[in-house]
Structure 1
Amino acid sequence: MKVVCFSGLGEPLLCRVCYAQLHSCMNFRFLFLESFVKVSTLLRSHVVCCLLAIPLSVMTLSGCGGVVSVKPPVTSPPASSIPSSPQWVVAWGASPENALPAAENPGGDEQSFRFLLLPTIDGTQERVHFSNLFGLTPITIGAARLAVATGSGAAIDPTRDTPLTFAGASSITLAAGQEVVSDPVNITYAFGETMAVSVYMKGAFPPLTQHDSQVTTNYESVSQAGNTTTDASGASFSQAVTEWYLLTGIDTYGSYQGTVALFGSSSIDGHESNYGDTNSYPVLNVAIPGQDNDRPADWLARQLMSAGYRLGVLNAGELGDPAGEDASTAAGTGLAGIDRMKHDVLQQAGVKTVVIYFGGIDLREDCVPATNVEASLSNMVSQAQAVGVRVILATLPPAEYCTTSSADLLPSAANPYQGDLYPGPENPGSTQRRTLNDWIRTTGALLPGVVAIADFDNALLYPVHPDFMMPSFYSSDNFHPNGVGYGVQSSAIPLTSLLAPR
């Protein structure tokens, strides 16, 4: 056996497949563990290593039931071979979650907000979506603007700042449940630049339809400050907020291939993507101030841009969101995935493909059986297939164990890998996750409309403890990856399956 190393995050899939094959072979498990310890420190510097027999094309494992083929990652076609057309696509999105009264969403009076966001594709013409979907009373947007942020707090570039209008009017009142799209404006921004949406809420207003901003800091003025949306310096936006209020998306118009949607719960939304990877589980990592560009949509956008695609990426993730109604939504979350699919994905601009990654909340928080999630995933696939949207189903990575299980089946300080398949007994939630993944790779892969599988499980699992992620990919809660882990997860999405053949 020989250790073969691949540097960089663009090539981890080959190694993950190797790991998966090795951990399934009893004869090689201890050999693998011994060698893995020797290279584990390399993982902390993002050098992914695996044990491969030479030649790479075929690996024969004695006692493993035959020959295992190991194929290199598929490269994407050049941009010149991918047709594009002038169309609206999603540059950035955030699904509306709720309008519940809370300390972070108290309502206000005569107040202005500045929301920051990172588009997933460059643009020259934009329109902005605002939502009062979960609001119970009318609200009035007294003024709104779109600008390019300078990267320094709430400051914006005054030369690239323009007012937004709604059917020509600078102000609009949204009824309860109403949503609106602004008139198009023309601002040129490059991929990687941050945008800012400024909103003045006229008069008194209740808690607003919102989305938890996760890792991005937004800003607000003090109450009764009035309309400060033209403040380029950002000085009037003196208070940080952790939400995107009303703002649900920005579309851009140009020669693009369309939009790919990432649909799921918090691990699509990018929870704890701002966490570093200095430590390895069970030592927890910490947040890195200012790191706000490692969400799954950000990683996929960079991978698409590097491969020559012209696709916008819609992040349609929500915290605590289950796949189906048989599982209860977490406090503060709006609708189950089967109910969000049409509004949050299929009705968005230019959607060609959706990556569906659901089931973690169902198995972890509500501890429902895998068959319940299978039914919900089938429902979502059917909705997409009915309108001609391609589907990529994602397997569930480790750490979806049932949290209501007995203490001796849950990780603890004394035994951080308690409840793992090896040595067992396995947590029942992990057993259900394994069952669900088997279904996704077999039955789910054959559902009409499904064009590929994104094997997040094989990309992230730790072969020595396959119910847990690789130690250096953890954030701080033993469920969500850190920023680097999200990058590895994203690399499992087969880019060549995102668009239909020419």
Structure 2
Amino acid sequence: MASAPADSQWVVAWGASPQNALSSSEDPGGHEQSFRFMILPTIGATEERVHFSNYFGTTPITIGSARLAVALTAASTPAIDATHDAPLTFNGSTSVTLQPNQEIDSDPVKVTYTFGQWLAVSMYLKGTFPPLTEHDSQVSNNFETPDGAGDTTTDSAGTSFTENPPEWFLMTSVEAYGPYAGTVAFFGSSSVDGHNSDYGSGNSYPISNVFVPTQNNDRPTDWLARSLNTAGYSLGVLNAGLLGNPAGEDAMTSGGSSIAGIDRFKHDVLEQPGIKSVIVYTGGVDLRIDCVSASAVEASLTNIVAQASAAGVRVILATIPPAEYCTTDALVPTAADPYNGDINPGPENPGSTQRRAVNAWIRTTGSQLPGVVAIADFDQAMAYPAHPDFLMPTFYTTDNFHPNGMGYGVQNSAIPLPSLLPQ
């Protein structure tokens, strides 16, 4: 068990990196509208603040009112507990206007909840607003009113919230104050964000597993939070994963909507409160979609580790599990040959060849970089011994490179918890 923290500090209880503010059917902009976002914190708390971000915005956005409450159910309905519901203020005001690229913390409130309870952040946007800085929610329901419904943030029953956007808008973290040991960040792409974590494990590859509606928070940070809580660690966990996010600029895909990992790491991880350590798990997008070389991924990882080391943040470097095959190559799985491109029997997809080289570098050179305190060998934990360029068959969902909920749990078991803090 970890030693008890000494002094109270702000840590991240829940977080989601800002992704973009691109116009879409889910993020069209609006007028006089309220939202209710459902989150599962990684630690219990008695004092909180909410962080709002107009990071990608190009016009001012006015939050007319906002609230933090304990949710009545596990994100399945918008109902909240009116006895554990507090209005948020900003320097004493119930309203705040965020300028383009501006971010702000609410004033602290005291809402008591325990580990495992869900929270709801309600927000009313005043006037007309464009597409908002958002994060595409992979794993939970959120709620909004119809356009023009006005301020319904005090609606505890939630009947006014009749629509279900798959995004968290403007809100990028809920932070807690108390005698915590700090925050650990999990940094990477969609496999950190928890894509396909709500799929079961009843089938085996190549038969797809199916969506499980109640399994909506088995993503890596939720598994890690449960492990830390069980082991007695008092650490908040920040999810800094972004869908389709490459590690390096040389791998920015055409039309990509997120900043390269090396460029967003400072803002999305190092500038967050209480950061003590980070699990760096990135590079798969570079290898799979953009088909870059192992040396390019290694350079990006070296850059990220150097940034963390300079800030005094401990790094656990994760290997990249299968199947990170290069999608522009012919050696990819097909219905007729589901293991096409595997090293056994070969020929191997070039993306998998490069992944093997990256993992060999992580286990040797990467593990010795200043600031790296341990390796999380996700590849060893997840690979199918009979076909090592593929995930274990029961981890298969629909794409063969995002694990299901059980797969994320097995991956979590490879994280050396004692390395997250100095001994």
TM-score (norm 1): 0.83
Task: Give the match for residue 146 of structure 2.
Answer: 222
- Using the TM superposition, name which of 288-297 and 379-388 deviates more: 288-297
Q: In structure 2, the residue corresponding to 1:326 is in which secondary structure? A: helix
1:93 pairs, out of 15, 27, 33, with: 15
Whole-angstrom distance in 2 between the partners of 1:179 and 1:329: 27
Task: Give the match for residue 342 of structure 1.
Answer: 266
* Equivalent residues of 1:318, 1:333 under 8 A apart: no
Q: In structure 1, the residue corresponding to 2:225 is in which secondary structure? A: helix
* Equivalent residues of 2:5, 2:234 under 8 A apart: no
Q: In structure 1, the residue corresponding to 2:370 is in which secondary structure? A: coil
Deviation at 1:83? 3.7
* Equivalent residues of 1:97, 1:332 under 8 A apart: no
* Equivalent residues of 1:321, 1:330 under 8 A apart: no
Whole-angstrom distance in 2 between the partners of 1:297 and 1:348: 16
1:482 pairs, out of 404, 408, 416, with: 404
Whole-angstrom distance in 2 between the partners of 1:279 and 1:330: 34
Task: Give the match for residue 130 of structure 2.
Answer: 206
Whole-angstrom distance in 2 between the partners of 1:145 and 1:496: 36
Deviation at 1:473? 1.0
List per-residue Cα deviations over 1:211-257 (Å, max 9, x = no partner): 00111010000111000000000000001110000010011011111
1:170 pairs, out of 90, 94, 101, with: 94
List per-residue Cα deviations over 1:349-387 (Å, max 9, x = no partner): 101000000110000000000000000000001100001
Whole-angstrom distance in 2 between the partners of 1:84 and 1:355: 24
Q: In structure 2, the residue corresponding to 1:143 is in which secondary structure? A: strand
Whole-angstrom distance in 1 between the partners of 2:5 and 2:133: 37
Q: Taking every aligned residue pair, what percent have the same amino acid on both sides?
A: 67
1:296 and 2:220 aligned: yes
Whole-angstrom distance in 1 between the partners of 2:29 and 2:103: 18
* Equivalent residues of 1:87, 1:255 under 8 A apart: yes
Deviation at 1:490? 1.0
Deviation at 1:331? 4.0
Q: In structure 1, the residue corresponding to 2:8 is in which secondary structure? A: strand
Task: Give the match for residue 328 of structure 1.
Answer: 252
Whole-angstrom distance in 1 between the partners of 2:90 and 2:253: 34
Whole-angstrom distance in 1 between the partners of 2:254 and 2:284: 12
Q: In structure 1, the residue corresponding to 2:191 is in which secondary structure? A: helix
Distance 1:330 1:488, change over 3 A: farther
User: Larger Rg: 1 or 2?
Assistant: 1
* Equivalent residues of 2:183, 2:274 under 8 A apart: yes
* Equivalent residues of 1:112, 1:201 under 8 A apart: yes
Task: Give the match for residue 166 of structure 2.
Answer: 242
Letter in 1 for 2:115: F
Task: Give the match for residue 358 of structure 2.
Answer: 436
Task: Give the match for residue 459 of structure 1.
Answer: 381
Q: In structure 2, the residue corresponding to 1:184 is in which secondary structure? A: coil
Whole-angstrom distance in 1 between the partners of 2:255 and 2:78: 30
2:79 pairs, out of 122, 147, 155, with: 155
Q: In structure 1, the residue corresponding to 2:222 is in which secondary structure? A: helix
Whole-angstrom distance in 2 between the partners of 1:330 and 1:298: 31
Task: Give the match for residue 283 of structure 2.
Answer: 359
1:424 pairs, out of 346, 350, 358, with: 346
Letter in 1 for 2:385: P
Letter in 2 for 1:384: A
For structure 1, the 5+ residue unaligned runs are 1-77
Deviation at 1:85? 2.5
Distance 1:146 1:198, change over 3 A: same
Deviation at 1:290? 2.8
1:500 and 2:419 aligned: no
Letter in 2 for 1:156: I
Whole-angstrom distance in 1 between the partners of 2:13 and 2:216: 16
Distance 1:385 1:334, change over 3 A: same
Deviation at 1:329? 4.1
Task: Give the match for residue 132 of structure 1.
Answer: 54
Deviation at 1:330? 6.3
Deviation at 1:84? 3.9
Letter in 2 for 1:139: I
For structure 2, the 5+ residue unaligned runs are none
* Equivalent residues of 1:98, 1:210 under 8 A apart: yes
Distance 1:84 1:476, change over 3 A: farther
List per-residue Cα deviations over 1:480-500 (Å, max 9, x = no partner): 000010011111110010001
Q: In structure 2, the residue corresponding to 1:203 is in which secondary structure? A: strand
* Equivalent residues of 1:320, 1:330 under 8 A apart: no
After superposition, the CA RMSD in angstroms is 0.9
Task: Give the match for residue 283 of structure 1.
Answer: 207
Task: Give the match for residue 14 of structure 1.
Answer: none
Q: What pairs with 1:76-87 in structure 2 (closer than 5 Å)?
A: 78-79=1-2, 81-87=3-9
Whole-angstrom distance in 1 between the partners of 2:332 and 2:265: 33
List per-residue Cα deviations over 1:249-294 (Å, max 9, x = no partner): 0110111111100000000000010111111110001111132120
Letter in 2 for 1:353: S
Q: In structure 2, the residue corresponding to 1:240 is in which secondary structure? A: coil
Q: In structure 2, the residue corresponding to 1:239 is in which secondary structure? A: coil
List per-residue Cα deviations over 1:72-116 (Å, max 9, x = no partner): xxxxxx24x344421111100000000000011000000000000
1:274 pairs, out of 157, 178, 198, with: 198
Deviation at 1:478? 1.1
Task: Give the match for residue 258 of structure 1.
Answer: 182
